[in-house]
Structure 1
């Protein structure tokens, strides 16, 4: 791979962006370069993969001379951003005015602006990374990443059209003076001499489809220096094992049917590894030939494993109505689990709404058709923004003069409006659990937690532009905290990073007053019955994580085997709950 100074690793959740970005940084450092790895993912696990606690400033990685890393922590960045905006007025304005300013900076909009501000500082200001030969960005799952990459244009367009200064009150204060930095950020992203975007995918139809969508959208942004990295490519070898042959065949077919535009990109390929890529030794194995496999001489007896989805489905059905939410790290199968449970409940005669708050929205591809008693929906940001704008202009703008209405319309053109509109749609969807089952496929962990934590802040933000608050918004947090109304299912894989990420998610939910109902361990090779040496080794590796979840972390656990046939469409999804 030819390395420009700046590299982005992006792609569908769970494809191995962090592993490849860290392995690339390590290889460059071993070649004598000074390298900085930056995570822009709200749910970053960079610390765990590199084996070094990280902060918001470059930290040297133990055991890897020349390699440094940092996390852009959105919450910490928002706190610092708010303090920069408010601090000059402390002791000058009355306490009530200061309190009002702090409220304006308490929403998810501020978090996004602050995180972007840090990102732009690193990418658009050469002085910020002057001491490094390469800067590698380990980006968030695709939906968040694309929003991050389009923000330079979004904010620049908004500032340029803002005749009276940014009227989005608190969060947008002071953006005018950042215009030069944001312009430099846009230029840096689209300069092929300095920036390469690596589209990371697995040899899977959904991951390659996501990579192709990303390719199109990046090209629309003027970003054309792209590469494709195929990760986790599995070769079965000489075997009669059904699972191994299915895994190899599925990957081969997915690559053969790759979209034409994607297939023309320069491509790098990385092998399937039987163990996780945590620690420097594991990362080095991505760029070095694997040693010959030596099977363990000791027999392996896993003992009793958790049950599948059927007992969990029975418990969920007994409530008769309510909200079921699948949550977890990107790529663990939240969409598949949500769709399987929704189809199974509908097959048992219940009216079900299946919806998603995920910006990447893979639900339609997973469903692959209609099912009786089931309504499939998606929270569409563009439609929700249009609805919200019309509603605000009709209510709050009716009594304004021409100048006041123009200011309100300007305010509603800001990128903050989308966050508010999508949040309201989420609240409306949850409200539907009063009359039937609502199954929500939520966005990857960081996005979801920001959404849930934003409830109180959005109460205030909605009041700022509208005289009344919808009942759905007013009742959202009580409904999410009511275990008889909302059941949170944490979906994970039997691997180190997804389990640790899920554990942090459970802790975050606990602080928000929300108790998970169950954990689902998905795509287990141990439960698949495979006898292939490499896959069986991976199955043994899973055992410790299955035990940790079932014995320590989860009130109830379901274990779902890796499926030889892709679980899409009604028939494929129902196989998961047999």
Structure 2
């Protein structure tokens, strides 16, 4: 039986790094751990390096960029580091000297290359490295807890010698995250010390937080493997949100329970070897001291019941499909962080349009190849499904870029470039090129794109297009299909962008950042879809029913503060993978 997570100063290391995909409860468990250790009388600092940090929501008080004592918890302080601000500062440091010397398109590309997720993450690393390597700071606290650990990709970049050379100043391919270290060249020794501290098992523990569901466990498995290879070997797995019992005559309750049990029975091999702890699925939001303290104890919290919002019943997925179908043809792009159900939503929209008699091409990166088989067999030509293999597309793109770079770059430079090409932007660009080829072939039909690129990637491609026009460089060329597609995606008459999220804090914050990214690229979402809502599922399970009330805050926030209309999809009893199940979802 998995042990209940109960952190004490005797069983945890001085430094704790919490990591996990959005929405698994990383911030709330980190905060609860900080409170528990402080309640023992220890001096504790919790540090968030997340650009969309919600430490202030969890602690229910303002937390700034300087160390802030937490009221009513003696010994506990918190700090919100701002990697976005740090990224902006060294973006200016790198680009500023060239603004009067280079053409505007070149400057635009340089700025966009330094605006991506990789740049922000390295800026975040810069911030917490300064804490880890500051003896005065480390002596002051018994425990320092970091909400959001660096990725293996970032740490590998930092460990490559070429990352600290002048090679960084010259981009050798047209659309990547190359250059995020440019403004930090003087900090090599600082970073080496930070990486050393991370790799010290007596000092540091990596807490892999996951929900008991397949996609979250796969993400935790990937992070465990990546970070183990770069030296973070002291890892533990924390399964957060395990439903402890079920109501027999409630289908939602029994299905939810069984699905979690099945996911845990099929846990990836890498995770099986880790010490594993569990926390129960709780009916309340983890905000405020009472809630944080109750997480590690068997006690129930009285909850304020929020009224069910009329938004839950106003629009459903069928309304999204009906509005899109009125255009007769066009592009539909679904966007969202991993695990929110964007592939399912894309497939359901495609099925719904086909059922209305339209010709539809669904292009997806869904690893479940059987989806293509099932859909293709049942729709008799109205719906064509093509599956893009991200790995194959990335391999082809990397091969193309590296082959051209070999003509001008030495061995060390190629090693850095190869690691840079492992960034998320590279996959988006490589896959988007394949998507663009599909869209170019469709004139009188709908094209539904699953896993669309972020605004940052679109701006990179746009900047690269201008850059290469001006300088006629041979590497990193933007294909004509991509050049033609960019203006099309900005035209609301031709394109509908659908942002998919869950009715929880982190997925909503992350989706909001995606929207901000798109707006920078002059793309406005048409719809937000709140997926897997218990509030719309009519469950009588006391835990899940109480949880449905806590969703209201986030559904209301999406409805009032985000662009586009909002549709809500209930929590589904069956995983929608076949044509008939997807068709049911559209009803």
8 A contact 1:433–1:485 mirrored in 2? no
1:128-160 Cα deviation digits (max 9, x unpaired): 7433332222227xxxx5xx3332323432518
Q: Distance in 2 between matches of 1:284 and 1:118?
A: 29
Matched positions, count: 549
Could you tell me which residue of structure 2 aligns to residue 564 of structure 1? 573
Could you tell me which residue of structure 2 aligns to residue 319 of structure 1? 327
Q: Distance in 1 between matches of 2:289 and 2:303?
A: 22
1:335 lines up with 2:337 in the alignment: no
Could you tell me which residue of structure 2 aligns to residue 383 of structure 1? 395
1:311-350 Cα deviation digits (max 9, x unpaired): 3223323434433222345543323322333454466663
* Aligned CA distance change for structure 1 residues 302 and 62 (closer, same or farther; 3 Å): same
* Aligned CA distance change for structure 1 residues 80 and 539 (closer, same or farther; 3 Å): same
Show the 5 A alignment for 1:208-219. 208-219=217-228
Q: Distance in 1 between matches of 2:368 and 2:291?
A: 33
Unaligned runs of 5+ in 1: 357-362
* Aligned CA distance change for structure 1 residues 440 and 36 (closer, same or farther; 3 Å): farther
Query: How many angstroms does 1:517 deviate by?
Result: 0.9
Query: Which of 166, 170, 180 does residue 168 from structure 1 map onto?
Result: 170
Show the 5 A alignment for 1:481-560. 481-496=490-505, 498-499=507-508, 502=511, 505-506=514-515, 509-510=518-519, 512-543=521-552, 545-547=554-556, 549-550=558-559, 553=562, 555-560=564-569
Query: Which of 443, 448, 454 does residue 448 from structure 1 map onto?
Result: 454
1:500-548 Cα deviation digits (max 9, x unpaired): 5545654554454322211212112122121222222222333454455
Unaligned runs of 5+ in 2: 1-6, 172-178, 377-383
Q: Distance in 1 between matches of 2:505 and 2:556?
A: 12
1:37 lines up with 2:46 in the alignment: yes
* Aligned CA distance change for structure 1 residues 498 and 172 (closer, same or farther; 3 Å): closer
Could you tell me which residue of structure 2 aligns to residue 68 of structure 1? 77
Q: Distance in 2 between matches of 1:556 and 1:94?
A: 40
Secondary structure at the aligned position of 1:305 is classed as: helix
Q: Distance in 2 between matches of 1:217 and 1:507?
A: 29
Query: Which of 264, 272, 277 does residue 263 from structure 1 map onto?
Result: 272
TM-score by length of 1: 0.81
* Aligned CA distance change for structure 1 residues 3 and 457 (closer, same or farther; 3 Å): farther
Secondary structure at the aligned position of 1:235 is classed as: coil
Could you tell me which residue of structure 1 aligns to residue 155 of structure 2? 152
1:122 lines up with 2:134 in the alignment: no
1:234-259 Cα deviation digits (max 9, x unpaired): 13355421211111222222222323
Query: Which of 350, 353, 358 does residue 359 from structure 2 map onto?
Result: 350
Q: Distance in 2 between matches of 1:12 and 1:303?
A: 27
Secondary structure at the aligned position of 2:210 is classed as: strand
8 A contact 1:86–1:98 mirrored in 2? no
1:550-572 Cα deviation digits (max 9, x unpaired): 57756433221111223334454
Secondary structure at the aligned position of 1:229 is classed as: strand
Q: Distance in 1 between matches of 2:87 and 2:265?
A: 45
8 A contact 1:339–1:366 mirrored in 2? no
1:95 lines up with 2:100 in the alignment: yes
More displaced stretch, 521-530 vs 148-157: 148-157
* Aligned CA distance change for structure 1 residues 378 and 284 (closer, same or farther; 3 Å): farther
Secondary structure at the aligned position of 2:157 is classed as: helix
8 A contact 1:7–1:197 mirrored in 2? yes
More displaced stretch, 214-223 vs 265-274: 214-223
Could you tell me which residue of structure 2 aligns to residue 413 of structure 1? 417
Could you tell me which residue of structure 1 aligns to residue 381 of structure 2? none
Query: How many angstroms does 1:411 deviate by?
Result: 9.3
1:478 lines up with 2:487 in the alignment: yes
Q: Distance in 1 between matches of 2:409 and 2:181?
A: 19
What is the CA RMSD across the aligned residues, in angstroms? Answer: 4.0
1:261-316 Cα deviation digits (max 9, x unpaired): 423322221111223223333322322223287998x9989798124212322332
Q: Distance in 2 between matches of 1:512 and 1:12?
A: 25
Query: How many angstroms does 1:374 deviate by?
Result: 0.6
Secondary structure at the aligned position of 1:152 is classed as: helix
Secondary structure at the aligned position of 2:499 is classed as: strand
Show the 5 A alignment for 1:388-467. 388-389=400-401, 392-393=404-405, 404=408, 406=410, 410=414, 413=417, 415-417=419-421, 421-422=426-427, 424-425=429-430, 427-428=432-433, 429-430=435-436, 432-434=438-440, 435=442, 436-442=445-451, 448-459=454-465, 466-467=473-474
1:374 lines up with 2:379 in the alignment: no
More displaced stretch, 412-421 vs 337-346: 412-421
Query: How many angstroms does 1:481 deviate by?
Result: 1.8
1:310 lines up with 2:346 in the alignment: no
Could you tell me which residue of structure 1 aligns to residue 174 of structure 2? none
Secondary structure at the aligned position of 1:222 is classed as: coil
1:179-220 Cα deviation digits (max 9, x unpaired): 333333332332211111111111212222322233333333
Query: How many angstroms does 1:11 deviate by?
Result: 2.1
Could you tell me which residue of structure 2 aligns to residue 360 of structure 1? none
Q: Distance in 1 between matches of 2:399 and 2:353?
A: 31
Secondary structure at the aligned position of 1:364 is classed as: coil
8 A contact 1:47–1:53 mirrored in 2? yes
More displaced stretch, 9-18 vs 101-110: 101-110
* Aligned CA distance change for structure 1 residues 414 and 574 (closer, same or farther; 3 Å): same
Q: Distance in 1 between matches of 2:148 and 2:211?
A: 16
Q: Distance in 2 between matches of 1:181 and 1:274?
A: 43
